[in-house]
Amino acid sequence: MPASSSPTARRRPTETTIWSAIHPVESGSGPVLIGRPIANTSMHVLDGHRAVVPVGVAGELYIGGAGVARSYRNRPELTAERFVPDPFSDLPTARLYRTGDQVRRRPDGSLEFRGRLDEQVKIRGHRVECGEVEAALRTHAGVREAAVVARGGGGDTRLVAYLVARGAAPPPSGELRAHLRRTLPEVMVPSAFVVLDALPLTPNGKLDRAALAAVEHRAEPETVPVRPRTAAEEAVAAIWTEVLGCVHVGVADNFFDLGGHSLNATQVISRMRTVMEVDLPLRALFEGPTVADLARTVEECRTRRLTPVPPLVPLRRDGAADTDDE
């Protein structure tokens, strides 16, 4: 390895004899780069069928070459899963190591780390890579460290972001959401942000995601909520509290900023139909996402329902009104 005066980052999976790739360390925020393989090492970005993916497309990182270990000791099942035949080598006994890392190859040939495949979660039918959300959060000037985990289950799975602020005052949740929405789809925007003094670590210095599960979190408004002022606002706020699991809901709070999404939006509309006896289309919640907006829509709907409807006038076949005078 040539000598260099600049610091370098090295990819170090034990299964490939410690060092596999190298990349110069650059200052500033940005994507995590693995770099390029060292001598006698190969790196391949493959899809689920172990076919090479195009440049710029994410896939799983497979490592081959002289440094790949033979097996895990006394663990034949895990060995068969992680050490697979190398179709790119002329040696019949060559193996590739499946790292479980999601990466993509950049146009310059270097590899960019996108997260762990075992940290992917499914939210409302979409596969979400928590590491990608974490990377986007770290690009905010007010965020020093970030970790994103999934909470709940089934159709109510939500993302919760834990972060360490760069300054004394953490950035507001609304500002973080706006920052993420510039580069990520709505399904990848966390429903809650929890500020910590430091992220919990395991004894070997890795993020302790299990410890994050013990940290209390709730998707709550950042300002003191304005209490409901009308019966309609009280009913809407009560339904939101039931569906979203929030303690306090104010009239100006945004349904989606409190962790709402399209699936529990349908639950809200259904509960309103039962409790408030009003039948609103789902789009009403998207067009008016605050308690005040939705309550106003309810009142307008009720007003229209109470407006007298002109009586039906029978028509003759020729289209003229059928009156008793004829």
Q: What is the pLDDT of residues 91-126, one digit of tens each?
A: 989 999 999 888 899 999 889 888 777 667 777 677
Tell me which residue has tokens 């905010």: 140
pLDDT for position 302: 82
Answer yes or no: is pLDDT of 43 > 50.
yes
Q: Is 205 exposed, middle or buried (0-12, 13-18, 19+ CB in 10 A)?
A: exposed
One fold for 8-117 and 124-212: no
CATH class of 8-117: mainly beta
Element (DSSP H or E) covering residue 173: helix 173-181
Q: Average pLDDT for residues 219-229, to the nearest whole number?
A: 65
The token pair that represents 256 in the structure block: 């989606």
The better pLDDT of the pair 159, 88 is held by 88
Residue 319 has a pLDDT of 59
- Tokens, residue 268: 């809200």
97 vs 48: CA distance, rounded Å: 14
Residue type at position 217: H
pLDDT tens by residue, 270-291: 999 888 888 888 888 888 888 9
Residue, of 205 and 190, whose pLDDT is higher: 190
Query: Does position 38 have pLDDT exceeding 50, yes or no?
Result: yes
Where along the chain do its domains lie? 8-117, 124-212, 231-305
- The band of 222, judged by pLDDT with boundaries at 50, 70 and 90, is low
Beta pairing class for 158-165 and 192-195: parallel
Cβ–Cβ < 8 Å for 146, 212: no
Mean pLDDT of 287-300: 89
Give the mean pLDDT of the chain. Answer: 81
Closest by Cα among 84, 71, 91, 200 to 145: 200
pLDDT value at position 304?
77
CA angle 97, 99, 104 (to 5 degrees): 115
Tokens of 12: 């170090």
Q: Which residue has the tokens 């000791």?
A: 73
Residue 8 has pLDDT above 50, yes or no: no
Range of lowest pLDDT (56-60, 123-127, 140-144, 226-230): 123-127
Most confident of the following: 104-108, 121-125, 157-161, 189-193: 104-108
pLDDT digits (tens, 9 = 90+) for 311-324: 666 776 765 655 55
Residues in the chain: 326
Under 8 Å between Cβ of 266 and 281? no
Q: Which CATH number describes the domain made up of 231-305?
A: 1.10.1200.10
What gap in Å lies between CA 218 and CA 221, rounded to an integer?
Answer: 9
pLDDT digits (tens, 9 = 90+) for 51-99: 999 999 989 999 999 889 988 988 999 999 999 999 999 998 999 999 9
Query: Is the pLDDT score of 207 beyond 90?
Result: no
Strands of 137-249 (E only): list them: 143-151, 158-165, 192-195
pLDDT recorded at residue 143 = 92
Please count the helices (runs of H) and the strands (runs of E) in the chain.
8, 13
Q: Regarding the domain delimited by 124-212, which CATH topology (the fold level of the hierarchy) does it fall under?
A: GMP Synthetase; Chain A, domain 3 (3.30.300)
Please enumerate, as own/partner, the contacts of 271-276 that have beta carbons within 8 Å and a separation of 24 or more. Answer: 271/239, 271/242, 271/243, 272/235, 272/236, 272/239, 272/298, 275/235, 275/239, 276/232, 276/235, 276/236
State percent of the chain over pLDDT 90: 22
Pairing assessment for the beta strands 83-85 and 143-151 based on DSSP bridges: unpaired
